[in-house]
Amino acid sequence: MNPGMVGVFIPVIAMLGVFSLLLARSPLGQALADRLRHGPTPRGGSGEENAELLENVEQLRREVAELAERVDFTERLLAKSTSQDRDVAR
């Protein structure tokens, strides 16, 4: 390698070192370091938002259970009426 070329790389490497040091000490650098240490963190809302979502899910479960009961009742009525229709047809 040409000795004149080494002289060009010295300032470039020094500038990269200074930039890396400034980045590491900045809040962005610390956030990147935390992410590398602990992995990505899930985006979660506040406790109130989570509680509201849980309440909505519970309400939906109750509604689905009620609808399932209605479907069962309707199926029983239909089965009963078709069996009565068969008995009358005989």
**Can you read off the two tokens belonging to residue 56?**
């909505």
44 belongs to a structural domain: no
2 belongs to a structural domain: no
- pTM of this prediction? 0.44
> Is the per-residue pLDDT at 88 higher than 80?
no
- Average pLDDT for residues 13-42, to the nearest whole number? 87
Output the pLDDT for position 6: 78
3 belongs to a structural domain: no
Residue percentage of the chain with pLDDT more than 90: 38
32 belongs to a structural domain: yes
Task: Give φ, ψ of 2 to 5 degrees.
Answer: -70, 130
17 belongs to a structural domain: yes
Q: What is the pLDDT of residues 28-67, one digit of tens each?
A: 988 888 888 888 776 666 678 788 899 999 999 999 999 9
48 belongs to a structural domain: no
Measure the CA–CA gap between 85 and 77, rounded to whole angstroms.
12
51 belongs to a structural domain: no
Q: Which DSSP category does 52 fall into?
A: H
23 belongs to a structural domain: yes
As for how many domains the chain has, the answer is: 1
Domain of 28, in residue numbers: 8-36+56-89
Which residues, including other chains, have CB under 8 Å from residue 53's CB and lie 6 or more apart? 45
> Is the per-residue pLDDT at 71 higher than 80?
yes
